[in-house]
Amino acid sequence: MSDRAKVGDVEIMAFIDATPPPFETSQFFPDVPKEKWEPYKAESLTADGKLQVNFGFFVLRSHGSIVIVDTGLGPGPFPNFGGARGALADHLHRNGIQPQDVNAVVITHLHGDHIGWNMSMSGGKPQATFPRAKYYIPRADWDYYTKPDVLANNAAVKDSILPLKELNCMELVGGDHTVTPEITTLSTPGHTPGHTCVLINSQGQKGIVVGDLFHTIAQVTEREWNPGFDWDKEQSQKSRVGVMERLEREGFTVAGGHLPVNRSIGKIVRLQGRRYWQVI
């Protein structure tokens, strides 16, 4: 099964918070002609040629420490995504993880499908879902998404990010930041101003949670493809290409939250001059 993997002493647990209805490829990747998808139909598209993505999150466990990377879409329901409801709380409960057990939450970027379970309501007031955790937020994303003109149309940031500051459980980070001795952040801007990946280095083995560095297995081969909602497409492509070259060269275990169920953890390998996704 590819929903769990070990990187040294660190266990990676991959979960799907919610699955929206499939997207038209032109809706998700407006600059990629339909015919370019032909080689990737079997692994990336539905039977009727649409792109199915998931809204995932990850739990990293090591030496009694629990770190969550991203918090999914949220409880819902979400009319814009076919009435989808989030399952993060159920997944954690079924795996014996209580909210108070979580030591840290690392947010890769401030899009709504990555921050939805940050907060919960208690007695009519917003409370941090993980009451003992420090929430690590990319500084460049905070600076951008809290601008008054941007914030005015961003309910997700208002509801799921701003209260963290008021509750004094948030830390803004930039560049390389140590979360635990085995887990650090890596700045990979482009998808958003402060987009961040999460690196794992344990017992000589390396892993990464890529956030939205790529959204589909096809991008492992087609690294130049950019989703339409990238903040800076040129910078996004630069980050993706640079990081992927390192992941391939150094044999990283790679975890992607938007990838298909049971295919979300793998490695980037090269065969006959082309890069491919190899499921673990």
Round to whole Å and give the CA distance between 104 and 179: 8
What per-residue confidence (pLDDT) applies to 68? 98
Single-letter residue type at 119? M
pLDDT of 6 > 90? The answer is: yes
Residue that is written with structure tokens 């990319």 in the block: 138
Q: Span 263-271, mean pLDDT?
A: 95
What is the pLDDT of the chain when averaged over all its residues?
95
What distances in angstroms separate CA 87 from CA 31, 57, 230, one per listed residue?
Answer: 32, 10, 26
Using a pLDDT cut of 90, give the percent of the chain over it: 90
Round to whole Å and give the CA distance between 269 and 248: 6
Which pLDDT tens digit goes with each residue over 202-239? 999 999 999 999 999 999 999 999 999 999 999 999 99
What per-residue confidence (pLDDT) applies to 125? 86
Q: Span 120-145, mean pLDDT?
A: 94
Check residue 99 and report its DSSP letter: G
What per-residue confidence (pLDDT) applies to 1? 36
Q: Are 257 and 57 in contact (CB under 8 A)?
A: yes
* Residue 247 β-bridge partners: none
Name the band, by pLDDT with cuts 50, 70 and 90, for residue 123.
confident
Q: Span 244-250, mean pLDDT?
A: 97
What per-residue confidence (pLDDT) applies to 124? 82
What per-residue confidence (pLDDT) applies to 275? 92
In the chain the domains, ranked by start, together with CATH numbers, are 4-279 (3.60.15.10)
- pTM exceeding the 0.85 threshold for the entire prediction: yes
- From 260, 243, 235, 176, select the one nearest 207 (Cα to Cα): 243
DSSP H or E stretch at residue 199 = strand 196-202
Q: Are 78 and 18 in contact (CB under 8 A)?
A: yes
What distances in angstroms separate CA 156 from CA 49, 76, 116, 184, one per listed residue?
Answer: 30, 12, 7, 25
What per-residue confidence (pLDDT) applies to 122? 81
